[in-house]
Amino acid sequence: MTDRPKAEMLDPVHLMLGATGVVAVVLIILIIASTAVWIIWVLKSLQLRRLRAAHHAFEKEAESVTSASELISIALKHRASPGGRVVLELAKRHHQANLSSDMLLAVAKRAMASEQQRASTLMPTLSSIASASPFIGLFGTVWGIMDAFLRIGVEKSASLPVVAPAIGEALIATAFGLVAAIPATIGFNYVDRRIGDLLEELGASAESWVETLAADPGGPTSAVPLVKESGRPPPHPQPGFAR
């Protein structure tokens, strides 16, 4: 009966709650990192679901267009979609003289790079957690083992009650490093694959949009305005400034 309290003090929960010093700081960092992984994973999944839904809605409406002005009008309607934003970037060049497919394709690639940056927000954080968490946990492990050796020197004994708490804290740090790193790695690969799928769809569709705009070049006044005009009447001139 007297050994039960000692055994309870060596279970993972008590070791985690009783951690002190550097090991406690390492555990707090890893707990924060592990929580951030799940938050980022959920946010990125919701963002990509929204982007894919908006892009598919734009593609569905734009798949039967036959003119550049019709395509630009649909893009204005779906300006929140990745495809709509790419077409609007192309539309800014539609009124230029000597319009070519190569120039429009370069503009489309630049617009798709912007969409990739938009979709990849927070991905470096997820990658950093996946790569750094095991080493942070390993640092806590090394520190815990060092603490165990220091206790051996102070107590002049290598018995289990002397070294077990420090070694237990060290192993807990390793476990928390893996708890943060494994979901971060899986989440990064999952989200990165979905971003790649979205960009592949966008790139395949951008080629057809470029051909549509290049085959129907416009003049200086043919482009659809990218900013909606206000319905307010023009301001009346002040009487004192009339010429």
Q: Evaluate if residue 5 carries a pLDDT over 50.
A: no
Asked whether residue 239 is assigned to any structural domain, the reply reads: no
Domain that holds residue 43: 11-220
pTM reported for the whole predicted model: 0.74
Helix, strand or coil, per DSSP, at residue 142 = helix
Pick the range with the lowest mean pLDDT from 60-74, 90-104, 108-122. 90-104
Asked whether residue 3 is assigned to any structural domain, the reply reads: no
Q: What pLDDT is attached to residue 91? A: 87
Q: What pLDDT is attached to residue 147? A: 78
Asked whether residue 236 is assigned to any structural domain, the reply reads: no
Asked whether residue 5 is assigned to any structural domain, the reply reads: no
Alpha-carbon distance 94 to 77, whole Å? 18
Q: Evaluate if residue 196 carries a pLDDT over 90.
A: yes
Q: At what angle do helices 21-62 and 123-155 cross, to 10 degrees?
A: 170
Asked whether residue 199 is assigned to any structural domain, the reply reads: yes
Please state, in angstroms and as integers, the Cα–Cα distance from residue 212 to each residue in 16, 21, 70, 125, 209, following that order.
63, 65, 10, 39, 5
Q: What pLDDT is attached to residue 54? A: 93
Q: Evaluate if residue 125 carries a pLDDT over 70.
A: yes
Residues 6+ apart with CB under 8 A from 34: 133, 176, 179, 180, 183
Asked whether residue 27 is assigned to any structural domain, the reply reads: yes
**How many domains, in total, are found in the chain?**
1
Element counts in the chain: helices (H) and strands (E): 8, 0
Q: What pLDDT is attached to residue 135? A: 94
Q: What pLDDT is attached to residue 52? A: 93
What is the token pair recorded at 91?
């539309």
Nearest CA among 196, 230, 169 for reference residue 52: 196
Asked whether residue 181 is assigned to any structural domain, the reply reads: yes
Alpha-carbon distance 9 to 108, whole Å? 62
- At 11, the pLDDT band (50, 70, 90 cuts) reads low
